Amino acid sequence: MLKEEKNKILRESISATRSKRALQTCKSFKFKIDKSSLSKEQKESIKMFFVEAKRTYNYILNDINNGEDLFKYDYKKLNHITYYDKDRNLIEYDNKYIKTSVIQEIIAGMKYSIKGLSASKKNGNKVGALRFKSECNSISLKQYGTTHYIRGNKFKIQGIKKPIRVNGLKQLEQYDNIDYTVANLLYDGYDYFISLTCYIDKEIKIKNDNIIGIDLGCESTVTTSDGEKMKVSIEESKRLKGLQAKLAKQTKRSNNWYKTKSKIRKEYNKMTNKKEDVANKIVNKLSYNKLIIMQDDQINEWHENERLSKTIQRSVIGRVKSKLQKKDNVIILDQWFPTSKYCFECGCKTDLALSDRTFICSECGCETDRDAHAAKNMIDFYIKIKSAGTVDLKPGRKVVYNKYKHLFEQEAQSSLAVE
- Is 127 a domain residue? yes
Whether 164 and 214 share a structural domain: no
Count helices and strands (H / E) in the chain: 10, 17
Residue 213 CA to residue 346 CA, distance in Å, equals 19
Most trustworthy range by pLDDT among 16-30, 184-198, 342-356, 381-395: 184-198
Determine the pLDDT at residue 274.
92
- Is 10 a domain residue? no
Whether 129 and 215 share a structural domain: no
Identify which of 397, 348, 352 has the alpha carbon closest to the alpha carbon of residue 371: 352
What digits encode the pLDDT tens for the residues 177-201? 899 999 999 998 888 999 999 999 8
Between 170 and 91, whose confidence is greater? Answer: 170
- Is 273 a domain residue? no
Determine the pLDDT at residue 394.
63
Which residues span the domain enclosing 94?
A: 23-201
Whether 346 and 214 share a structural domain: yes
The mean pLDDT of 384-388, rounded to a whole number, is 80
Whether 105 and 210 share a structural domain: no
Whether 405 and 306 share a structural domain: yes
Q: Which amino acid is at 220?
A: S
- Is 16 a domain residue? no
Taking a C-beta distance cutoff of 8 angstroms, is the pair 312, 231 a contact? no
Whether 292 and 374 share a structural domain: yes
Taking a C-beta distance cutoff of 8 angstroms, is the pair 28, 203 a contact? no
- Is 241 a domain residue? no
What digits encode the pLDDT tens for the residues 221-261? 899 988 888 888 898 899 999 999 999 999 988 999 989 99
Whether 226 and 298 share a structural domain: yes
Our count of domains for the chain comes to: 2
Taking a C-beta distance cutoff of 8 angstroms, is the pair 350, 361 a contact? yes
Whether pTM exceeds 0.85? no
Whether 177 and 308 share a structural domain: no
Q: 56-74: string of b/e by CB count within 10 Å (b at 16+)?
A: bbbbbbebbeeeeeeeebe
Among the candidates 201, 220, 245, a domain finishes at 201
Between 88 and 43, whose confidence is greater? Answer: 43
Whether 290 and 195 share a structural domain: no
Q: Residue 391: pLDDT above 70?
A: no
